[in-house]
Amino acid sequence: MTITTVRECDKIIVEIWNFEIGMFKEQQKNIFIPQMEFFLKERTKNKGQGIGLLLVKDLLQKNGSKIWVENMQSVASSFNFTVPIYNYYDDEI
């Protein structure tokens, strides 16, 4: 796993690469959409159900950020999100 950050204007972009797994285009397209049948199925050992990812997406969006995934099928996946930078000192005069 590799984590990088880049400052871009008024936000920070965080990129988290997982080199152990990639995903198919169909998985990538639906990764941020709740899938009830997916949540109800018994999962194999050490596999999540994606609930945490949905919570992270909701929290980021409520704070003016965004999240997306990039993928190299069968090789790696990259989860990216933005974090706004606030200058708290601008209001202190």
The span from the CA of 75 to the CA of 15, in Å, is 16
Which CATH fold topology does 2-86 show? Heat Shock Protein 90 (3.30.565)
**pLDDT tens-digit series, residues 8-63:** 989 999 999 988 767 777 777 777 777 655 545 555 554 555 678 888 999 999 98
Predicted confidence at residue 59, as pLDDT, reads 92
Contact 49, 68 (CB under 8 A): no
pLDDT of residue 35: 64
* 6 contact partners, CB below 8 Å, separation of at least 6: 12, 13, 15
* Residue-wise pLDDT tens digits, 70-93: 887 777 888 999 999 887 666 555
